[in-house]
Structure 1
Amino acid sequence: MAYFHDCEAAERVLGSYRLNTPLQHTWLAKLPGYDYEIRYKKGKENVVADALSRISSRELQYMALSIVSTSLLDRIQKSWSNNPKIHRLITELGENSNSHPNFTYNGEQLRKRRRLVMGEDSSLQRDIIIAYHSSSMGGHSGAQATARRIVSLLYWKGIWRQVRQFVRECQVCQQNKIQHLAYPGLLQPLPMPKSVFTDITMDFIEGLPKSMGREVVFVVVDRCAEYAHFMPLSHPYSASMVAQVLLDNVYKLHGMLETIVSDRDSVFLSKFWQDLFRLQGVELLASTTYHPQTDGQFEFVNKCLETYMRCMIGDKPTMWVKWVSLAEWWYNTTHHSSTGRTPFEALYGFQPPLHMPYFPRDSTVAAVDAYMTDREDMVRTLKYHLRRARDRMKAQADKKRIEREFLVGDSVYLNLQPYRQGTVANRSSEKLSPRFFGPFEILDKIGKVAYKLKLPDSAQIHPVFHVSRLKKAIRTTNYSTQLPVLEGGSSDKTKQPVAILERRLVRRGNRAVAQVLVHWTNTSPAEATWEYADELRWRCPRFDLEGKGSKGEGNVMG
């Protein structure tokens, strides 16, 4: 048998007694016993071999489809049965193959520009879309990528529309893909305060190094004058301790409040705190779950305080307590562009004595009257500047937001991962966990941008969420993804915290953190376990860390 090859060296190597490489020795050992002859033939003259080696890869793809996927071809042929247009087309092509230039028919396969033509079989079309979108080959690609894969091989009328609709309704895509949209929910500024120190905001600055036994700064800011009080605290602190600090430093100077804005810290949602201020007629406004952006003013104050501390303390971070009073004076005597004056002047009506000592003079009734008149004018001007700053802030923020609303009874997906938090959910992989859970039914609309959801009974998180955490379920089905199991527990409610028996501070890394000794249900006090206070707060948000009772929902601001 003769073999024609366009490589002249192969003929010389096999006829040579000197073999230069191990590979040549391997080849020669396998060839004895075969009756063959290799002859050299130039590539230009070896036309047949070139033709066989240069068949279009697209033709090979169609040959593979036609030969291997016989069940698919049978289903495609059955889909023609109820389509008179396809039958007429096949008949005309059988009589004259050139009657329709874009179509070909070989007795089994009807093609349009080399693509197999399918009839109106919705079941078959859906199976095709699932194969090219939801399988490992499809990878849950977008509508355009999925449709392009399908139209390279198959054709039916309305294929792009069906693919777009299928991908839009795909539950896996809705749960795991990021929304490339403007931030949902228009900005909802807090109501204008009526006067100075009637409406305040408060929070804690944690994570500070221990200084004279203090590790936390309790910050209170007046929403009208933007006057702030900074009060150091030590761990562990309770709701009653924080209330006493508020009484000693704020109430004695400014009187009783009307509203308090805070996040969902366990102190502010404890039974003690709720009942104390309810009896005083104070309205408590808490942020929604997973949406701490309720109070941007307070975040600005925190940033100012932390910056001041870094600049003043330098290489002595454990001395920060000595600088808190000076930091409060500095902040309150600094000019604020939002109000047009310093918080000190906005609160007291005169500039703070910075360079020269202030010597008050004897006043007459006329002078007192003039002072009070100027005071009222100042408060009026203060409100004007605040309103302008608020409106300007809302106008700028809404340029990058979209309005999103749902109706009571709608089904939505819930995003539980606005930021990575290992103590909230016990997931096998944070990176690859679904981004959305559900769908869940909307029970009520809270304000303009918050909604209450019907969560499973096993859920241990607050059921009210900002609209940015929700995504409308395109199609409601009986299938739903359960909320992640909380770390250290399950949906079984047989083991819940009953009471806090003891508290202590332990070292965790390079800082001290609070631990609590927890008495669990269905166990004796001797079986109580030490738990980190922060982790217990997230695992059991309805449990009152002060000792008993469950947290109410409180008021919610968008």
Structure 2
Amino acid sequence: MADEDIEKTAFRTHEGHYEFLVMPFGLTNAPATFQALMNAIFKPFLRRFVLVFFYDILVYSRNEKEHVLHLEMVLKVLRQHELYANQKKCQFAQEKIEYLGHVISGEGVAVDPEKIKAICDWPRPTNVKEIRGFLGLTGYYRRFVRNYGTIAAPLTQLLKKGGFSWTEEATQAFDRLKSAMVSLPVLALPDFNKQFEIEADASGYGVGAVLVQDKRPLAYFSHTLALRDRGRPVYERELMAIVLAVQRWQPYLLIGKFRVKTDQKALKFLLDQRIIQPQYQKWIAKLLGYSFEVDYKPGVENRAADALSQKPEEVQLFGLSIPITVDLDVIKREVSQDSKYKEIVRQLEQGEELQVDSYSLQKGLLMYKNRLVIVQQSSLKPVILETFHNSAVGGHSGFLRTYKRIAAELYWKGMKAEIKKHCEECLTCQRNKTMALSPAGLLVPLEIPQVIWSEISMDFVEGLPKSNGYEVILVVVDRLSKYGHFLPLKHPFTAKLVAELFVKEVVRLHGFPLSIVSDRDKVFLSQFWTELFRLSGTKLNKSTAYHPQSDGQTEVVNRGVETYLRCFCNEKPKEWIKWLPWTEYWYNTTYQRSIGMTPFQVVYGRQPPTIVSYGSSPSKNSTVEEMLQERDIVLVSLREHLRLAQEQMKSYADRKRRDVEFSVGEFVLLRIRPYRQITVRSRRNEKLAPRFFGPYEIIEKIGPVAYRLQLPENSRIHPVFHVSQLRKLVGQYENIQPTIQFVDENYTWKSEPEEVVEYRKTGAEQWEVLVSWKELPKHEASWESYEEMKEKFPTLHLEDKVNLKGGSNDRPLIKQVYSRRKNRLC
């Protein structure tokens, strides 16, 4: 101690007043002072063969001869500075040593098991201070953990001011971090005579990298991106991953040339590119002074650095459990308390003959056919079932695979039935697995109409190339005569335009029908379409949600139309409009097996379009009377052919169907095909999207094969579904998070306009506005009449966008037009 500082260390005891003459530990700057001393005296040797942390001196050498020489030099320096090593605390010539929480050996660097035990025993944090302590301990070993930043992100969020709110996501992160610490790898030691490699990757949530040498990892690195960085282009995020990794491992990379591997192909030419964007120049500047090459490595091969996988912003249910080791002491205690097994154990210990020869004792444990015996009421059975079925090892396998996996190691009476019940009641399996069964619900054909053109069906044929401005065909088919009209349409079209075409080409010839069968296209669901046919007395029958087979007739006609045009227009597809009249003529004059004649013969062969029964209006003219009688014979024959065709169709269809019925009050899961989920929460990967949603309660039976479900209040899809879309819920569950958006009290689609995107003036000098709808994607925007929108939605501020009536000079240029064929604004 310096003479002027000795008095500052004074302390008093019952024996008197004392002062330190040498520096003790405990003073504020004592650790830093002592570390500075050690660094000063060992400066020539540091990182050559000596590492020092306070009084822990690590001497490392390549062979025994060098090691002895290095020890002599270190001990000599200590003696020169009057520092003395305690022989009892020294270890010499070690092949493996614990140092600063690590185990260092010839194989590499591993983590001290005692530190891992402390992490595994860490209780769940209850405040920010405890979270900070847990993250501090685990963060010390983050270079051993792949994706550490992503795993710990939910816990890191809790460190924000006022942000402590322990959630299920935090619990999962806490458990995942513990599990990751249990299986940490052994990192290789660097060899500076060999080349280093960096495998870098980036995702929408973070960047990650691996430092590799001879295909062995030296260290892992991950960094969670801030919100402002997540929106950067992919190129910039991949470049950011490389720069951050190079900065992190600078001491290893400055020595010589190294390689960088990335799955961003454009970065392969990083050193040859002319960088113009300022933000890219900023990152490139940080790589100056390094010698490296960039190799392209596809993401499939770049698995080590494909670290930060796409974490969903919202998860419906987490279907992964952490495997748990079975406690043998608990099993032994439970077996000793069971009267049956207790007697068997006694007989085995005393060598008595057993009635069942398959039992044996191994290390004090009761075995049955070399499988560990568990009592039927064991407290460990739920844990075992969760581990062998729900864990990453179990993989949510089916009953047989799960049973075989458990039966290979364990045995209890009635295990097969319990395993089967657990697999059937697993909600994750019910939601995500397809049913290997024939479609549910027997075929229920629509009722045969009494009069031609009284009941029709209609649909659109989309995706055609533009021909004279036309891109869509409206297919209208009479359900009795099978007569069809194929009407061309231009994009974009509205419900009003379709209705005008329908009146002009169909109603003009055949009058208003009594009913129309259609799918759930937005045109057919619009208020204009619904109100028009309500006033005309026409009933609109729409297919059940996600079940287009309800309008199977028009779907079949659509395929026929497409096939005909494909045959005659394949060389000049843009001339299909010229062939459309011939398509209609061909279809209407072609024999239909279901009616036993051609549609043209039914409609035009004997009578004008509106055909009535002969018995309702007899004629005095014998010739007319004979024609009417022949006409009635045709109608009777027609209906009989349709009846026989329906019976045959139903017989064929029911061979591959199951008769399934549900009761009101039952809970079911709902299947919605991902590509039809326009009104359901969008998913990043449709291939991996759940197959079923729910469960939902059945509140009404609609006919033999359709049911109305009690969907969540925020649902926006039609609540009536065909039985083939439903799956009976097995087991009982509570607090299941709803996943489908709003449906109103009347169970009808109610889309509300959000804003006016664009405007235009039609050829008829009528103003139309392009309206985007709430909670629907941009490509669902539709052109609507300005007058109708103003009348139906008076609160929608149309004038905020354009002054349609006044012809304002400030109107913006038209920048976007909605294309139904391209399904987007363009």
TM-score by length of 2: 0.50
SS at match of 1:245: helix
Aligned to 2:531: 275
Letter in 2 for 1:94: E
CA 1:273/1:122 → structure 2, altered by over 3 Å: closer, same or farther? farther
Aligned twin of 1:152 = 408
Residue 321 of structure 1: aligned partner: 577
Q: Give how far 1:98 is off.
A: 4.7
Distance 1:423 1:519, change over 3 A: closer
Q: Is the 8 A contact 1:183 1:402 kept in 2?
A: yes
CA contact (8 A) 2:679 2:717 kept: no
Residue 307 (structure 1) aligns with: 563
Aligned to 2:328: 73
**Contact 2:596 2:641 (C-alpha < 8 Å) held by counterparts:** yes
1:108 aligned partner: 364
Among residues 765, 775, 779, which one is paired with 1:532 in the alignment?
779
Quote the residue 2:339 is aligned against.
84
Q: 1:38-53 counterparts in 2 under 5 A?
A: none
Shift of 1:134: 0.9
Report the Cα distance in structure 2 between the residues aligned to 1:270 and 1:546, rounded to whole angstroms. 15
1:161 aligns with 2:417: yes
Among 389, 409, 412, the residue aligned to 1:133: 389
| Mapped contact 2:717–2:741 kept (Cα < 8 A) | no
CA contact (8 A) 2:606 2:627 kept: no
RMSD: 3.3
Greater RCO (Cα-Cα under 8 Å, separation 6 or more): 1
Letter in 2 for 1:426: S
Instruction: Mark the runs of 5 or more structure 1 residues left unpaired by the alignment.
Output: 1-28, 31-68, 353-362, 487-494, 506-513, 522-528, 538-543, 550-558
Q: Mean Cα displacement is larger for which, 276-285 or 474-483?
A: 474-483
Q: 1:454 is matched by which residue type in structure 2?
A: Q
Superposed CA deviations along residues 195-219 of structure 1, whole A, max 9, x for unmatched, are: 1111100111111122222221111
Match of 1:45 in 2: none
The residue that corresponds to 1:297 in the other structure is 553
Residue pair 2:754, 2:772 contacting (<8 A) in 1 also:
yes
Alignment check: 8 A CA contact 1:134 1:140 kept: yes
Q: 1:520 to 1:104 in 2, by over 3 A?
A: closer
Contiguous gaps of at least 5 residues in structure 2: 1-62, 65-323, 609-618, 743-750, 762-767, 794-826
Following the alignment from structure 1 to structure 2, what is the Cα–Cα distance between the partners of residues 546 and 409?
42
Q: Structure 2: how far apart are the matches of 1:351 and 1:396?
A: 35
Aligned-residue offset at 1:377: 0.9
1:117 and 1:410 map into 2 onto residues whose CA distance is 38
Aligned 8 A contact 2:679 2:741 in 1: no
Aligned residue for 1:297, secondary structure, equals: helix
CA pair 384-73 structure 1, distance change in 2 beyond 3 A: same
Q: Which residue of 2 aligns with 1:96?
A: 351
Q: Percent identity?
A: 43
CA displacement at 1:78 relative to structure 2: 2.4
Report what 1:388 is aligned to.
644
In the alignment, the residues of structure 1 paired with residue 422 and residue 790 of structure 2 have an alpha-carbon distance, to the nearest angstrom, of: 51
Paired with 1:424 and 1:435, the residues of 2 have a C-alpha distance of: 13
What is the CA–CA distance in structure 1 between the aligned matches of 2:521 and 2:487, rounded to whole Å? 17
Partner of 1:329, secondary structure, is helix
Tell me the equivalent position of 1:374.
Answer: 630
Amino acid at match of 2:439: Y
Q: 1:496: Cα distance to partner?
A: 5.4
Q: Which amino acid aligns with 1:342?
A: T
Match of 2:772 in 1: 518
Which one of the candidate residues 200, 212, 217 is aligned to 2:468? Answer: 212
Aligned to 2:111: none
Deviations 1:470-523 (A, max 9, x none): 11111121142431679xxxxxxxx95246564579xxxxxxxx99343879xx
Are residue 223 (structure 1) and residue 514 (structure 2) matched? no
Return closer, same or farther for 1:241/1:226 CA change in 2, 3 Å cut-off. Answer: same
**How far off is 1:405 after superposition?**
1.2
> After superposition, what is the alpha-carbon deviation per residue over 1:59-108, rounded to whole angstroms, capped at 9, x for unaligned?
xxxxxxxxxx9961111122224421111112222221554532223562
Distance (whole Å) between structure 2 residues aligned to residue 498 and residue 70 of structure 1: 55
| Partner residue in 1 for 2:603 | 347
In the alignment, which of 475, 479, 482 is matched to residue 738 of structure 2?
482
- CA 1:122–1:168: 2 relative to 1, 3 Å: farther
Find the counterpart in structure 1 of residue 375 from structure 2: 119
Q: Distance in 1 between matches of 2:427 and 2:662?
A: 19
Q: Please state whether the residue corresponding to 1:182 is helix, strand or coil.
A: coil
Describe the shift of the 1:424–1:348 C-alpha distance in structure 2 as closer, same or farther (beyond 3 A): same
Q: Which deviations, in whole Å up to 9, do the C-alpha atoms of 1:447-487 show, x marking residues without a partner? A: 2211111222222222221111111111121142431679x
Q: What code does the residue aligned with 1:463 have?
A: P
3-state secondary structure, aligned to 1:104: strand
How far is 1:336 from its partner? 1.3
Correspondence 1:468-507 to 2 at 5 A: 468-483=724-739, 497-498=753-754, 500=756, 502=758
Letter in 1 for 2:772: V
Distance 2:585 2:427 in 1: 55
Do the aligned partners of residues 256 and 496 (structure 1) sit closer, same or farther apart at CA in structure 2, a change above 3 Å counting? closer
Give the Cα–Cα distance (whole angstroms) in 1 for the partners of residues 476 and 698 of structure 2.
34
Query: What are the Cα deviations for residues 280-309 of structure 1, in whole angstroms up to 9, with x where unaligned?
Result: 221110001111111222122112211221
Distance 1:444 1:337, change over 3 A: same
Matched, 1:467 2:714: no
Instruction: Decide whether the 8 Å contact of 1:349 with 1:378 is kept in 2.
Output: no
Q: Choose which of 443, 450, 459 in structure 2 pairs with 1:194.
A: 450
Aligned with residue 434 of structure 1, among 674, 677, 690: 690
Deviations 1:505-556 (A, max 9, x none): 9xxxxxxxx99343879xxxxxxx993236x79xxxxxx999847xxxxxxx
Cα distance in 1, alignment partners of residues 449 and 790 from structure 2: 31
- The structure-2 alpha-carbon separation of the partners of 1:519 and 1:331, relative to structure 1 and needing over 3 Å to count, comes to closer
Query: In the alignment, which residue of structure 1 is the partner of 2:517?
Result: 261
2-structure distance, mates of 1:93, 1:397: 62
- How far off is 1:420 after superposition? 6.5
Give the letter for the 1:79 counterpart: E
Check the 8 A contact 2:707/2:720 in 1, yes or no. yes
TM-score, length basis structure 1: 0.73
Residue 181 of structure 1 corresponds to which residue in structure 2? 437
On the 8 A contact 1:515/1:532 being kept in 2, the answer is no
Conserved? CA contact 1:230–1:328, under 8 Å: yes
CA–CA distance in structure 2, aligned partners of residues 333 and 180 of structure 1: 42
Q: Look up the match of 1:36.
A: none
Partner Cα separation in structure 2 for residue 145 and residue 177 of structure 1:
15
Q: Single out whichever of 252-261 and 382-391 deviates more from structure 2.
A: 252-261
In 2, Cα distance between equivalents of 1:127 and 1:459: 36
- Aligned-partner SS, 2:626: helix
